[in-house]
Amino acid sequence: MKIWIIAGLVCCAPAAWGQSEVRVYGAELSAPFGAVTGKVVVHEAMLTFVDSEKPEASFTVDKANVQSITRMGEGLVVQLKKAVKDRVGESNRLSLRLAVPSESTVVEQWLQQGMAAAPAKPGETKAETRWSFPARRNKLIGGTDGTLVVTQERVIFESLDKAEDTRRWEFKEIKELKRKNPYEVEIIPFTGDKYELKLSGSGMETEQFRELVDRITRARSARP
C-alpha cells in the first residue's frame, strides 16, 4: 500500500498541481555508500523521498518533524526530531541534493514553514538561527564537512557526512572561543574535544565574533 501511494503521488503530480499543490523534484539522498537517486514529493503537510531503485525504502517526513535546516552549497541538510527509515536504516539526518539547484530554495522554504508552525514544548523556546557558516573540521586522520550554526542560545556543528561528529554546545558549556582569522575558529568546551574549524564563504566577521564571545562570556558567568 505504501508503494502504491507513493507511486500515485509521483504519477499524478502534474494533474493534481493546481488542486492539491503536489510538487515533484528530482533529487539525490546522501548515503554511506554514495548517493540514492530518487524524487522529492512535496504535498501539503508532508515530504516524501521516493527511492528510484528500491521504492519500498521510500519514506515520508512530516513538517512538524523538522528540527533544523542547513544549506550546504546546492544541497540541504535536514535534522529531524524523530528518525525515518530508508534503505540504510533509521536516521534523523537527511542530506538532499536536488537536480535543479534553484529548487532547493523552494523545498527549504516549505520545510521552514513547518518549523515555524510547530508549537514549542512547555518551557521550551524555538531555536532561532543567527548565523550559519559552511565549515570543515580537520582531524589527525581525515576530517568532516558540515555547518557551524549559531542560534540565540547555543553553537552547533552539524556534520554532513559523519553524524558522530555533530556537536551542540550551550553558550555556558563553552570555555573559550578563538578566532585566528575570519576563516579559522576554535571551540574549546569545558568537557569534550575541542573543535578546530575552517570556514568557507565570507567567514565569521569581527562583529559576529565579538557578539558571540560576549554571549558566551555572559552565559559562562552564570554557571554555578
d(CA 4, CA 14): 17
Of the pLDDT bands very low, low, confident and very high (cuts 50, 70, 90), residue 224 is low
* 219: DSSP letter: H
d(CA 3, CA 59): 10
Q: Which three cell numbers stand for residue 38?
A: 530518487
Q: What is the pLDDT of residue 160?
A: 75
pLDDT digits (tens, 9 = 90+) for 164-183: 888 999 999 999 999 999 99
Q: Which three cell numbers stand for residue 115?
A: 518549523
Q: Percentage of the chain with pLDDT > 90? A: 21
In the 3-class helix/strand/coil scheme, how is 25-87 assigned residue by residue?
EEEEEEECCEEEEEEEEEECCEEEEEECCCHHHCEEEEHHHEEEEEEECCEEEEEEEEEEECC
Of 111, 96, 198, 186, the C-alpha closest to 146 is 198
In 73-203, DSSP assigns E strands to 75-85, 90-98, 129-138, 143-151, 154-159, 167-170, 174-181, 184-189, 195-199
pLDDT digits (tens, 9 = 90+) for 18-38: 344 678 889 998 877 778 899
The domains located in the chain, with CATH, are 17-117 (2.30.29.30), 129-221 (2.30.29.30)
First to last CA, the chain: 55
Strand order in the sheet with 129-138: 167-170, 154-159, 143-151, 129-138, 195-199, 184-189, 174-181
pLDDT digits (tens, 9 = 90+) for 44-102: 678 888 899 988 888 888 877 887 777 776 788 887 878 888 888 888 888 888 888 77
Q: Which three cell numbers stand for residue 178?
A: 578563538
Q: In angstroms, what CA-CA distances link 67 with 78, 111, 129, 217?
A: 8, 9, 12, 27
Mean pLDDT across the chain, nearest whole number? 78
Q: Which three cell numbers stand for residue 138?
A: 580537520
Mean local confidence (pLDDT), 148-161: 85
